[in-house]
Each structure stands twice: as C-alpha cells, then as structure tokens.
Chain A
Amino acid sequence: MRLVTSDGELIQRAATGDRSAFEDLYHRYARPVFGLALRRLGDRGRAEDAVQETFASIWRSAGSYKPDRGPGAPWLYAVARNAIVDRARARNEIPSEIPDEPTPDSGPGDRAEQSWVAWRVHRALEELPEREREVLALAYWSGLSQSEVSEFLGIPLGTVKTRTRAALAKLSEILGDDIE
C-alpha cells in the first residue's frame, strides 16, 4: 500500500499556502515539466524559464483545481503546457514542436500522447529510491546488460535483478490506471 500523498492533495494544500506541499510538488514535477518544456521549446534556457513560470503559476492558481473533476497530474500537465505556450508567445515565437524521439514523423496526436506518457513516467520515477532509479537508468537508457550494471555499480547481480523488479513493481503501482 502506498502512503504517498496524492498530487491532488498536495495541490489543495498548496492552495491554502502550505509551502511544504508546494515543495513536494516541485520535487515530483520539476523534471517532468522541464522535459516537456524542452520538447516543446527546443531550448534549455527557455525551458528553464518555463519551469519557473509553471511553478509560479501552480502556486497562484492551485485554488482553481477541483478534485472532483479528476486527479492532479492532468491539471498540472495543463498548467505546464499553458506556461510553456505562454513562454513561446511572450517572445513572439511559435512553439517549436520538436518531434518526440524515436518517431519523428508522428502526428500531433501521437506527439501529445508521447508527451503525456513521458510526463507520467518521469513523474513516477521521481518517487523511486535513488538506488532503484539508478538501476533502471543503466538498464534502459545506457544499453548495459544486467551483468554490466552489476559490475558498474559494484553490487551483486542478484541485487540488480531484485532492485530492477522492485522498481518496476513500484512504478506499476504509482502509474496505476495508466498501465491498464
């Protein structure tokens, strides 16, 4: 059973001025927001600005979140998208729709779907312990075999397997309905 406070609860608490709740939201979503901004704006400096503006926007408009209309993640996603679009408009530029790898020819619908998936997965990764996140990063995005991960981290192969399985199980729980 997960005892982690839901995004929706944190948003509601932030709306009352609860700074620690806002900090928790930042911890969970800074990286997903940055990833989304980077994809949309195609520039790291502007993406950084968009992250700052997103969280300023979350702080000031948290009271507009209505839990009966859905969970917090989609609301946060919408706030982030708006901040990113505003960032682009502020400079009289059209948001650069950088195609999401590895399907550069996908249409807007596919890109939106991929952005949403990345958003949810990256946010879920933030809840994993560092040691489990590290094992997943090496296994999935560095091209190492389990034996090489074991060698690289200096831990037994069995521990790598255990951590990997535990990490996927936790992600499964965190992602919940998204994986159905």
Chain B
Amino acid sequence: MSRFEDVIDAQGLAPDEEARLRRVHDLLEQAGPPPDLPPALEHPPSAPVEDEAEIVQFPLLPRRRWPIFAVAAAAAAVLVFGGGYLTGNGKRKAPSFETTRVVPMRGHGALAFLRVAPPDSAGNTPMQLEVNNLPTQPRKTDYYELWLTRDGKAIAPCGSFRVNERTTTVRLSVPYDFRRFEGWVVTTQTATHHTPGPVILST
C-alpha cells in the first residue's frame, strides 16, 4: 500500500486540492489494479453471426420483432468487437496477460516485474517476467534462470531466458504450489553449471 506522501509531492497544493487528490489516492488503493483484458476481448471474436444471434435475447422487445433486432445486434457486436475497439486503441498497448499479482524484483541496477496468472485446471501457473536493464550475457551459452526460494536458497527452477534488449519479456509456466516458497530470484547461469548461479535479481 502506498502512502500519499510517497506518491505525490503536495508542496504548493491548496488544501482543498490536496484533499481531493488524497481522496483519489484512497480510491485507487481501494479499487486495486484493473484486470488485463484477455485476448478474446481485444481481438475480433471468431464466433459467426449466426452463433451470436442465438445468444441474443430480447426481453425488452415484443417477441415478433426480436429476430430482426437479434441479427442487427449480432452484426453490430461483431463489427464493434472487431476492428472498432482496436482501431480506437491502436497506439501503444502492452500485450495482455491475465494477472492475479505482480511481484517486483530488483538488484544490480536492474528491475523486473513478475506477473503471476491464475493456475490452470492442470495446476500449471503461467507467469510473465518483464526485465529491465539486465545486462546482456557475456557468452552465447550464458543465460538467466528464475527460481523460487526457500530459506533464502534457490530451490525450484521456474525457467531460463536470455536478454538482448533493454527490456525483455518472457512467459513461463510452473507447476509449483507457491505457498511452499518465500520468494523468487534470478541467477546468472553458464552452460556448464546448472545449479543456481549468482543472484542478480531478488524479490
């Protein structure tokens, strides 16, 4: 939870303006993060018009008119859910990833966000790791590894990756029950050592 003073420099603000910003601050804390829209809601649906028409019902309209409006509504929905929404938001949009929590990681001048999604029915938990300012690997065979930790030690491997840009995003999936662990670390690895290497990022 953020303190208002940590987020806003209130110097020079009139008392009533500061009070309004504090209220907004509280509402943001109360609301929590908005969900990422799933791809199905960002891209045109693949459902044909006929299928849409079957879903649509018109309790507010006389029954004899509903088929006409059903087709019209379905056609409009396809158009709207199609290009319209994306066209209006086509500037800079991060790829969607369903997120239940975001875990920041830091170290050695680098930052990372680990986004954790809900586990699937098989018990796999998708994760998306966004790393920023992590140095590129000195050798082609070097790489980074994400681990879950217990008692301060890297215990369970969560996936390997390399970076070649200032910001790199990778998607991973693990079958672990996170309650058995206490945090995450990213280590540097070489081709010849697959046990946990030096920690470069940690939660």
The chain B residue with its CB closest to the CB of A144 is: B104
Interface string of A26-57 (1 = CB under 8 A from B): 11001110110010000010001001110110
Once the chains bind, are B24 and A19 in contact (CB under 8 Å)? no
Residue B170, interface by CB 8 Å: no
Once the chains bind, are A145 and B6 in contact (CB under 8 Å)? yes
Q: How far is the CA of A93 from the CA of B7 in the complex (A)?
A: 43
A-side contacts of B69, CB under 8 Å:
60
B-side contacts of A165, CB under 8 Å:
8-9, 21
B-side contacts of A145, CB under 8 Å:
6
Q: How far is the CA of A142 from the CA of B105 in the complex (A)?
A: 10
Shortest Cβ distance from residue A62 to the other chain B in the assembled complex, whole angstroms: 10
- Can you name 18 A-B pairs with beta carbons within 8 Å? A22-B76, A26-B85, A30-B41, A32-B34, A34-B37, A60-B56, A118-B30, A118-B32, A121-B30, A130-B91, A143-B104, A148-B106, A165-B21, A169-B17, A171-B24, A171-B27, A172-B23, A179-B23
Residue A168, interface by CB 8 Å: yes
Query: Given A48-B41, A60-B58, A146-B6: A152 and B35 within 8 A (CB)?
Result: no
Once the chains bind, are A142 and B102 in contact (CB under 8 Å)? yes
Once the chains bind, are B79 and A19 in contact (CB under 8 Å)? yes
Interface string of A108-150 (1 = CB under 8 A from B): 0000001001101110010000100000110111111110100
B-side contacts of A168, CB under 8 Å:
8, 21, 24-25
B-side contacts of A61, CB under 8 Å:
60
Q: How far is the CA of A98 from the CA of B7 in the complex (A)?
A: 30
- Interface size, B (range): 35 or more
A-side contacts of B98, CB under 8 Å:
44
Once the chains bind, are B7 and A164 in contact (CB under 8 Å)? yes
Shortest Cβ distance from residue B24 to the other chain A in the assembled complex, whole angstroms: 5
Once the chains bind, are B80 and A22 in contact (CB under 8 Å)? yes
Q: How far is the CA of A23 from the CA of B77 in the complex (A)?
A: 9
Residue B190, interface by CB 8 Å: no
Contact of A19 among B33, B35, B80, B106 (CB under 8 A): B80
Residue A64, interface by CB 8 Å: yes
Contact of A101 among B32, B77, B80 (CB under 8 A): B32
Q: How far is the CA of A55 from the CA of B23 in the complex (A)?
A: 31
The A-contacting residues of B in range 76-123, CB under 8 angstroms, are: 76-77, 79-81, 84-85, 88-89, 91-93, 98, 102, 104, 106, 111, 113, 118
Query: Given A118-B32, A141-B102: A56 and B60 within 8 A (CB)?
Result: no
Shortest Cβ distance from residue A28 to the other chain B in the assembled complex, whole angstroms: 10
Once the chains bind, are A64 and B28 in contact (CB under 8 Å)? no
Once the chains bind, are B34 and A114 in contact (CB under 8 Å)? no
Residue A97, interface by CB 8 Å: no
Query: Given A23-B85, A118-B32: A44 and B77 within 8 A (CB)?
Result: no
Q: How far is the CA of A64 from the CA of B106 in the complex (A)?
A: 52
Q: How far is the CA of A137 from the CA of B32 in the complex (A)?
A: 10
